[in-house]
Amino acid sequence: MSPLAAFLLGVAVTAAVALGVRWFTRWRGRAREEADAGEREVGTVSELLNLAVQGSPTGIAIFNRGGRVLMSNARAHDMSIVHDRAINPEVWDAALVAFDDLEAHTLDLDLPRRATGSRIRNVSVVVKPLALTDSSYVIAYSTDESENVRMEAARRDFVANVSHELKTPVGGIALLAEALLQDPADEDMVDHFGNKLLKEAHRMGDMIADLISLSKLQGAEALPEMAPVCIDEVIDDAIARNHVTAENRDISLTRGAATGIEVMGDKALLTAAVSNLVSNAINYSPDGQPVSISQKVVRDNVVLVRVTDRGIGIAPEDQKRVFERFYRVDKARSRSTGGTGLGLAIVKHVVANHGGNIKLWSRPGTGSTFTIELPIWAGSGAGGASAMLPKKDPKKDPRKDKEKQ
């Protein structure tokens, strides 16, 4: 290589190295500026810890021997561990013990119902020393156990109710069978007690079938055979199932105009839900009073299916519980009609599994209206469906749009 070529090559290499160093210096400067900016946004480690404590879903409160609250987060206040810098008396009693024995202590708090509408009723609290080698501070961790306690109570009630409800028909069957065996040659007695025996057996069979249906609906598995379902067909089938019962009671079943609305769901389950509502309306209505089933489209994407009766109505204190399993407003009437106490619970879960909601409006002595809300299937062409629905005259129906309640 000639001296001139070597000189030029050296100049090029030197320039490239200089440019590379300059670029790297600028890149490192920008990276450092970005890191510094991030640190300035978050701040010190103590600020990081404070943000972590405040954002924790667990209630956290730290206090000293003098009863002073040194740190607490919003969840601790929500769960009534501390209130206006004052410590919950039960938590403080546990803290005093922890100061002395340096052990962790667990307690369960049953909070009173508050006017603020808080749903936190049951809280589990762990009180322990902040450090095992220092008895100057204790920390309280609290978790909301309200839902777990409610579910456990519901499970106990369910088992107790099932045992009681099944015991009644089983006991009746045993007594009736014993009566039959006493004089099997008496045809009148055999006919009388045999019919009662058959009725009790059918009632127990219906209850077991409803329990199985409810168990499936409350499971995590998906609904079977989800497909577009015409609401008109669901209402027609529900009316057909209850036609004989209504005719025997001189009760007319009327329905609104067909709309062609479709929802995505299981036709058999939806029919069973609407049929249960119609059956309830018949059972709790006086002879000769009509029961109506109507449809209405709201918000262009929701269809309301209403079942209205002019029966005995439901008292306000019972309206919140009618969807509970085995809850009966009128136990005597339910016994006479052979109800299992599971119909409305099944309706509630069927509707929930279809992405809908169910509401109740009722007034004692006036009647009741159960409203099922279901999302309209996008392919049903429901955009103009609301125009197909008949307009109600508010003078004829004092309940008007009770679904808003």
Extract the residue ranges of the chain whose pLDDT is less than 70.
1-25, 27-43, 113-118, 154-169, 203, 206-225, 325-341, 380-405
- pTM of the full predicted structure? 0.49
The pLDDT value recorded for residue 405 is 39
* 132 vs 125: CA distance, rounded Å: 18
* 146 vs 128: CA distance, rounded Å: 22
The pLDDT value recorded for residue 269 is 84
Exposure string over 235-257, b if 16+ CB within 10 A, otherwise e: bbbbbebbeeebeebebebebbe
β pairing state of 59-64 and 69-72: antiparallel
The pLDDT value recorded for residue 306 is 92
Segment 44-99, tens digit of pLDDT: 787 888 888 888 889 999 989 888 898 889 999 988 898 887 899 999 999 999 98
Structure tokens given for 194: 């045999």
**What letter does residue 316 receive in the DSSP assignment?**
H
The pLDDT value recorded for residue 234 is 92
- Helix 45-54 to helix 3-42 angle (10° resolution) is 50
The pLDDT value recorded for residue 126 is 94
Closest CA to 360 of 320, 311, 300, 400: 320
Q: Are 305 and 358 in contact (CB under 8 A)?
A: no
